Amino acid sequence: MKVHIIGGGIIGWSTAWYLNQAGYEVSIIEKEANFGGCSHGNSGIIVPSHFIPLAAPGVISKGIKWMFDAKSPFYIKPRLNLELMQWLWQFYRSCSAKKVQEAMPVLLEFNQLSKSLYEALSQEPGFDFELEKKGLMMLFKTKKAKEEEESIVAAAAQLGLDAQMLTEAEVRQHHPGLEVDVLGGSFFPSDAHVNPNRVMKQIRALGQEKGITCLSNTTVTGFKTEKGQVSALTTADGQLIPTEQVVLAAGGWTARLARQLGIRLLLQGGKGYSITVPRQDKKPAMPVIFTEAKVALTPLKDQLRIAGTMEIGGLKHEIHLKRMEGILESVPRYFPEIQYDMPAKEQIWHGFRPCTPDGLPFIGKHPKYQNLILATGHAMMGMSTGPATGLLVSEMMQEKKTSMGVEMFSPLR
Give me the residues that bind ligand FAD (CB under 6 A), please.
6-12, 29-32, 35-39, 42-45, 47, 219-220, 249-253, 257, 272, 274, 307, 351, 353-354, 376, 378-384
Output 85 or 240, the one with its CB closest to ligand FAD.
240
Residues 108, 257, 19, 396: what is their CA dihedral angle, to the nearest 10 degrees? 60
Q: Which is nearer to ligand FAD, 116 or 173 (CB)?
A: 116
Sequence-separated (6 or more) residues with CB below 8 Å from residue 182: 139, 140, 141, 168, 171, 334
Measure the CA–CA gap between 351 and 283, rounded to whole angstroms. Answer: 24
Cβ proximity to ligand FAD: between 172 and 279 the closer is 279
Q: What's the closest the beta carbon of residue 86 comes to ligand FAD, in angstroms?
A: 21
371 CB contacts (<8 Å, ≥6 apart)? Answer: 229, 230, 243, 244, 245, 246
Gap between the Cα atoms of 367 and 8, Å rounded = 25
Judged by beta carbon, residue 153 or residue 233, the one nearer ligand FAD is 233
CB closer to ligand FAD, 95 vs 327:
327
CB of 233 to ligand FAD, least distance (A): 9
What is the H or E stretch that residue 170 is in? helix 168-174
Taking the complex as a whole, the smallest distance from the CB of residue 167 to ligand FAD amounts, in Å, to 26
In the complex, least distance from residue 382 CB atom to ligand FAD, rounded to whole angstroms:
2
CA–CA separation, 159 vs 105, rounded Å?
A: 7
Q: How far apart are CA 35 and CA 139, in angstroms?
A: 33
Choice between 147 and 325, CB closer to ligand FAD:
325
- CB of 197 or CB of 376, closer to ligand FAD: 376
Residue type at position 164: Q
Do 230 and 166 meet the contact criterion of CB atoms below 8 Å apart? no
User: Nearer Cβ to ligand FAD, position 96 or 234?
Assistant: 234
Nearest approach in angstroms of CB 158 to ligand FAD is: 23
70 versus 315: smaller Cβ distance to ligand FAD: 315
Q: Based on the number of CB atoms within 10 Å of its own CB, is 364 exposed (0-12), middle (13-18) or buried (19 or more)?
A: buried
Residue 43 CB, nearest approach to ligand FAD (Å):
3
Q: What's the closest the beta carbon of residue 349 comes to ligand FAD, in angstroms?
A: 8
Q: Which residues pair with 353 in a beta bridge?
A: 270
In whole angstroms, the minimum distance from the beta carbon of 384 to ligand FAD comes to 3
Residue 79: CB atoms within 10 A of its CB come to 10
CB 322 to ligand FAD: min, Å: 16
Quick check: 382 and 352 in contact, CB under 8 A? no
For residue 378, the minimal CB distance to ligand FAD (Å) is 4
CB atoms within 10 A of CB 264: 12
Other beta carbons within 10 Å of 276? 19
Question: How many Cα atoms sit within 13 Å of 32 on the Cβ side?
Answer: 13
Q: Which is nearer to ligand FAD, 128 or 237 (CB)?
A: 237
Contact at 8 Å (CB) between 282 and 30?
no
